Amino acid sequence: MKMKRMIALALSLMMLLALCACGGGTGGTEESAEPTTEASAEPSAAANTDGERKVLRVGMECAYAPYNWAQSDDSNGAVPIVDSQDYAYGYDVMMAKLICEKLNWDLEIYKLDWDSLPIAVQSGKIDCAIAGQSITSERMATVDFTEPYYYASIVGLTKADGQYAAAKGVADLTGAKVTSQINTVWYDVCLPQIKDANIQPAMESAPAMLVALDSGKVDLVVTDMPTAKAACIAYPNMTVLDFTGSDDDFQVSEEEINIGISVQKGNTELTDAMNSVLSTMTEADFNAMMDEAIAAQPLSN
């Protein structure tokens, strides 16, 4: 009998220990569940899509001072060029930064050839081109434009000691050897207005156009006032031929001197958003910003 009691007591102790062990296991589960609950209260950045900022992908040549250029550092607030070690700056970058700041967007700059900009906009490779483009009917057949973000008068540019330096109008340029940048109003519309002009092949870029003039391959080029002002800083031997207000100026329509931001056809949401910023600015604002860009260009110092 005594042995049976001892066995029963031993069994009771074993059951009690088992119950205690189960209780401890339950406590451990609760403790381990607590960090899991805390972690789930803070979702990862990848899952937090509601707060993501829009990224504006902007294309430009990064070789068209003072509108845009490439430089080796981020001085003056230059922006990194995607897939490049260089940075972009200039009037177009300043405008892109202002738009993104006002709309709380992030900015990416893509360096593209002049001729490829419309194609990149059409295909959606970039969201827009901010690249000193005139708002012409021809361009508007393939892309949409914002309202103007600059108004650029058209001028001639020649050597200060050259044959045409004293020209007072287009008639005084008769017979000149000329060129300008490809697919621009300057080349397609203005050069043919010069009587008996010896029109040379169009240049691929604004810098190439200026090199052609500086090297003596041409007598003059036609461009816009900001480009001409910047050129005169980089090339002190050049002078601007400004016929504005005279009876013998280059004949261009208003659309051909209005500079706009090109966007994909039908993207009214983006166009309207950028216009909401541009509409708050005046021509004086644009000119002040352009003067700042001209002063900041790498060759101005």
126-143 confidence digits (pLDDT tens): 999 999 999 999 999 999
pTM, two decimal places:
0.76
In the chain, pLDDT over 70 holds for what percent of residues?
82
* 151 vs 171: CA distance, rounded Å: 25
Give Cα separations from 255 to 79, 139, 154, 251 (angstroms). Answer: 30, 11, 12, 12
CATH number listed for the domain at residues 55-151+258-300? 3.40.190.10
Q: Can you identify the CATH homologous superfamily of domain 154-255?
A: Periplasmic binding protein-like II (3.40.190.10)
103-126 confidence digits (pLDDT tens): 999 999 999 999 999 999 999 999
Residues 189, 169: contact at Cβ < 8 Å?
A: no
284 Cα distance to chain centroid: 21
SS3 131: strand
Residue range(s) in the chain whose domain bears CATH number 3.40.190.10: 55-151+258-300, 154-255
Q: What pLDDT shows up at residue 51?
A: 66
Q: List the structure tokens of 57.
A: 């992908």
In this predicted structure, the answer to whether residue 238 has a pLDDT above a threshold of 90 is yes
What is the residue type of 222?
Answer: V
Give Cα separations from 2 to 6, 8, 12, 68 (angstroms). Answer: 6, 10, 15, 103
Residues 113, 73: contact at Cβ < 8 Å?
A: no
Sheet strands (E) in the chain: 55-60, 63-64, 68-71, 79-80, 87-89, 106-111, 128-134, 143-145, 150-151, 154-159, 177-179, 198-199, 220-224, 238-241, 258-264
What is the residue type of 49?
Answer: T
Residues 157, 231: contact at Cβ < 8 Å?
A: yes
Q: List the structure tokens of 1.
A: 């009998």
Q: What pLDDT shows up at residue 299?
A: 66
* Cβ atoms within 10 Å of 13's Cβ, excluding its own: 10
